[in-house]
Amino acid sequence: MHIRPIALILFLLMTSCALKEEAELVMPASPARLFVEGYLVPGEPIRLSLIRTSSFQEDLSLQLVWNAHVELMLPDTVIRLQNIFYKDKVSGKMVNYASPYRLPAILPEDSVRLRIITVNNADTLYAATETVAPVVITDWVFNGTQIRLSFTNGPDARHRFYGVYLEYELAGQTIRKSEYYDYSLSSEPELSIRLDVPDGKQPYRIILYRITPDNYHFQRALQQASRSNVDPFEPPVVLPSNVQGGQGIFTYSTQDTLVIE
C-alpha cells in the first residue's frame, strides 16, 4: 500500500488497543479493500477494528464492516469476537469487534492468530503475531524538564523494539505524544530513554511498551506518512502489513505505566 499526499484523510485508530496516541492512520484513495487493526495487550480488553475502504473520485469513504466471523486463536483456546461500536469521547478512536474477556498473558515463544470471514464468505483474512516478553520500568529520574526511564533490555533482537506514550496537560489541553525505538542491535542489559517535557506541567502519565518488529515498522511508516501528507516533497510511503487477504496490523505488546505527580 502506498501513501501519497493527495486525496487523503485521517482514520481514527481504535481505543485502548495500541499505543494511546500513534500517528494517525493515513489511507489512500484506492480500490475497495479490507483494513484491520488489532492491538493485543495482556490484561486489556480484546478489541479490533475492521473497515472497508472505497474510493469515490478524490474522496475516500471508510465503511465499518459488520457481521463478520472473527476468531482469535490463542495457544490454548479460541475466542469469538462480537460486534460492538465504541468511540472514545476524547480521542474519537473507534472499534467495532470485541470480546468480554481480557487477554491473558502469553508466553514469549507462543503466537496468536486471527481469522476473519465476512458475510457470505465474501472475504477471508488471516493474520498472526508473535508475542513479546514483559517490559518493566526499573527506575526513573525527573529533573523538572526531562524524564529519564530505565528498563531491562529484551533477551534477543526481536524483543528489543519499544514504544513510549506520554500524556500531560498544557494550557487547558491534553497533550499526547508517542515515539518508537529500535534497540535490536543493542546488547546492553539496561536501557534508558529521555523525554523532554515542559516545566511544571505535572502530572505526567507515561506508558512504556515492548512491541513487535511488525508493529514498530508499521507505526514508523504511519509517522512518515503523516509528514508526507503535509510536505509535498516527501516521497510516497509503503505502509507495511501483516494481514493476508487485506491490509493492516495485528500485533501483541506488553506495557508498564508510570505516573509522576
Give me 229's grid cell.
501528507
C-alpha to C-alpha distance for 115 and 72, rounded to whole angstroms: 7
DSSP 240: -
Residue 16 CA: distances (Å) to CA of 21, 43, 49, 119, 243: 10, 11, 12, 27, 20
* Closest to 131 measured CA to CA, from 110, 161, 152: 110
**Four-CA torsion 167, 171, 173, 179, nearest 10 degrees:** -30
pLDDT value at residue 62: 74
Kindly list the structural domains of the chain, giving each domain's residue range(s) and its CATH number in brackets, ordered by start.
2-232+241-260 (2.60.40.10)
Enumerate residue ranges in the chain where pLDDT < 70: 1-31, 54-61, 88-93, 201, 228-231
**Cβ contacts of residue 38 below 8 Å, gap of 6+?**
17, 47, 48, 49, 114, 127, 248, 249, 250, 251
pLDDT value at residue 17: 41
The alpha carbon of residue 46 and the mean position of all alpha carbons in its chain are separated, in whole angstroms, by: 13
